[in-house]
């Protein structure tokens, strides 16, 4: 039996307990969990849980302290799985993105609801559906199954931006989602906490190159929608025009990027005007944010865009593709472009470099941003206080 009589906020970490691949989503999971453990909602006990195969169990290592949330379980949890003890008033928060777990748990979620547990899931984006050409074959139906499951079983869905909430509401309206009650959809913004001092030591030779000429920094896993290939095309044109500028890419290889990885690795400008860091530590990234001329956010689609607020945290100017979510996050504190190919992007970057040289590029320092404590509090305002954005009322006609 669970001795603590308080209602539980059960935070699902089903993927993170298995492995931490340092993805953006897992950064969010670690940081939001740490914030919840540090400042639990009044009257609630925060418990990290995971899918143990047919039932949810306590993830004891994660749940011990806020600091423990920063690291995954070291292999298997040495203690045998302890099934979650449910009470009316408990809340299940699907914070981790677990498309391989959730669709098979419909009966389990129905049982949790019969025990008086409310179910909420965080929706990071719909990109495998809306940008299916940029993902592996089969990703779209696989991900759509997850979206349909959470839309039909949850008491509410919370997105990481208003832009994602609008996309989700549109998807629900045009797909066969069946449930007996309206579905509330909310949104909150992610946080950014970058310590003034981080572990590790930056490569001074690299930083000397970065400071020697205007350097544009790209941060994020290599994947097609991040548009690293278009950015490299653009810089190759700039270099042919005699423009002295660097492209610095921080991000590990992702999917469908074998050719791009080889192109970066073997590029004649590698180590001269091109720098690819697949495994940069926190200290190096912090120094790159502080030393570069601007952040290049070239993604074709995003759910939020954490590098924008990380750049703003360091006062680094932001150059962003003109996406609704980037406008939502950065407002007037970024310089926006549209580019359908490398030539158009090269022209846009040349204009920004001229503005930068003249001291006229938009500054990012006044961009509003949250730390992770404020981000977690915003999430709780939706889930616990009912600060919902819109109701997907059209679902009522599809019982």
Following DSSP, what letter does each residue of 40-107 receive, concatenated?
A: PPTT-EEEEEEE-SSSEEE-HHHHS-TGGGGS--SSS-SSPP-B----TT-EEEE-S--TTTGGGGHH
Higher pLDDT, 77 or 169: 169
Given pLDDT bands bounded at 50, 70 and 90, which one contains residue 22?
A: low
CATH 3.40.50.2000 domain extents, the chain: 8-191+372-398, 204-357
CA–CA dist 342, 194 (Å, integer): 32
Return the pLDDT at 4: 74
Given pLDDT bands bounded at 50, 70 and 90, which one contains residue 74?
A: very low
Higher pLDDT, 201 or 13: 13
Any residues with CB less than 8 A from the CB of 196 and at least 6 apart, and which? none
CA distances (Å), origin 362, targets 64, 351, 355? 44, 12, 9
- The per-residue pLDDT for range 165-224, each reduced to its tens digit, is 999 999 999 998 988 888 999 999 999 876 555 555 668 899 999 999 999 999 999 999
The CATH code for residues 8-191+372-398 is 3.40.50.2000
Return the pLDDT at 197: 54
Q: How many CB atoms lie within 10 A of CB 80?
A: 8
CA distances (Å), origin 344, targets 138, 227, 297, 338, 378? 32, 13, 15, 8, 38
Residues forming beta bridges with residue 277, ordered by sequence position: 250
**Fold assignment, 204-357:** Rossmann fold (3.40.50)
Given pLDDT bands bounded at 50, 70 and 90, which one contains residue 5?
A: confident
Given pLDDT bands bounded at 50, 70 and 90, which one contains residue 26?
A: confident
Q: Are 69 and 61 in contact (CB under 8 A)?
A: no
Which residues in 141-156 are b (16+ Cβ under 10 Å) and which e? eebbebbbbbbbbbbb
Torsion of CA 64, 69, 74, 78, to 10 degrees: 20
Which residues in 265-277 are b (16+ Cβ under 10 Å) and which e? eebeeeeebbbbb
Return the pLDDT at 78: 58
CA distances (Å), origin 259, targets 34, 228, 282? 38, 12, 27
CA distances (Å), origin 367, targets 158, 187, 309, 311, 370? 23, 19, 7, 10, 10
Mean pLDDT within 7-33 = 88
Mean pLDDT within 33-55 = 94
Question: Which two tokens mark 79?
Answer: 């203690």
Given pLDDT bands bounded at 50, 70 and 90, which one contains residue 64?
A: very low
Question: Which two tokens mark 70?
Answer: 């920063």
Q: What is the DSSP string of 121-132?
A: EEE---HHHHTG
Please report where in the chains the tokens 């049982």 appear, as a residue: 111
Given pLDDT bands bounded at 50, 70 and 90, which one contains residue 67?
A: very low
Given pLDDT bands bounded at 50, 70 and 90, which one contains residue 153?
A: very high
**pTM for this prediction:** 0.91
| Three-class DSSP category at 122 | strand
- Mean pLDDT (the chain) is 90
Return the pLDDT at 1: 46
Check whether 77 has a pLDDT greater than 70: no
Check whether 128 has a pLDDT greater than 80: yes
Return the pLDDT at 399: 44
- The per-residue pLDDT for range 260-294, each reduced to its tens digit, is 999 999 999 999 999 999 988 888 999 999 999 99
Higher pLDDT, 197 or 40: 40
Higher pLDDT, 182 or 9: 9
Return the pLDDT at 398: 45
Rg (CA), the chain: 22
Return the pLDDT at 61: 66
Which residues in 127-137 are b (16+ Cβ under 10 Å) and which e? bbbebbebbee
């Amino acid at each position: 039996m669970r001795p603590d009589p308080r209602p539980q906020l059960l935070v699902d970490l089903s993927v993170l307990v298995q492995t931490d691949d340092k993805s953006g989503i897992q950064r969010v999971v670690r940081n939001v969990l740490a914030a919840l453990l540090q400042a639990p909602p009044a009257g609630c006990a925060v418990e990290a849980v995971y899918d143990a195969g047919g039932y949810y169990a306590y993830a004891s290592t994660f749940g011990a302290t806020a600091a423990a949330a920063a690291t995954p379980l070291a292999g298997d949890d040495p203690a045998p799985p302890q099934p979650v003890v449910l009470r009316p008033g408990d809340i299940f928060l699907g914070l981790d993105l677990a498309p391989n777990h959730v669709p098979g748990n419909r009966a389990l979620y129905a049982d949790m609801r019969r025990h008086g547990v409310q179910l909420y899931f965080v929706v990071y984006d719909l990109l495998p559906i809306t940008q299916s050409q940029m993902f592996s074959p089969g990703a779209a139906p696989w991900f759509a199954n997850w979206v349909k499951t959470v839309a039909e079983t949850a008491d509410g869905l919370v997105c990481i931006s208003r832009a994602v909430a609008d996309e989700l509401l549109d998807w629900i309206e045009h797909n066969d989602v069946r449930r007996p009650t309206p579905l509330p959809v909310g949104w909150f913004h992610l946080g950014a906490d970058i310590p003034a001092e981080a572990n590790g030591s930056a490569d001074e030779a690299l930083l000397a190159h970065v400071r020697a000429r205007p350097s544009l920094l790209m941060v994020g896993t290599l994947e097609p929608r991040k548009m690293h290939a278009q950015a490299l095309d653009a810089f190759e044109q700039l270099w042919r025009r005699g423009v002295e500028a660097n492209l610095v890419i921080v991000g590990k290889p992702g999917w469908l990027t074998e050719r791009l990885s080889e192109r970066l690795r073997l590029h004649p400008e590698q180590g001269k005007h091109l720098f690819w860091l697949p495994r940069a530590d926190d200290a190096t990234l912090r120094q790159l944010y502080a030393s570069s001329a601007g952040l290049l956010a070239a993604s074709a689609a995003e759910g939020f865009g954490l590098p924008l607020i990380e750049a703003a945290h360091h006062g680094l100017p932001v150059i962003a593709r003109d996406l609704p979510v980037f406008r939502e996050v950065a407002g007037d504190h970024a310089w926006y472009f549209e580019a359908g190919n490398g030539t158009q992007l090269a022209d846009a970057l040349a204009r920004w470099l001229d503005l930068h040289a003249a001291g006229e590029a938009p500054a990012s320092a006044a961009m509003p941003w949250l730390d992770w404590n404020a981000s977690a509090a915003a999430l709780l305002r939706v889930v616990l206080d009912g600060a919902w954005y819109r109701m997907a009322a059209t679902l009522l006609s599809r019982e």
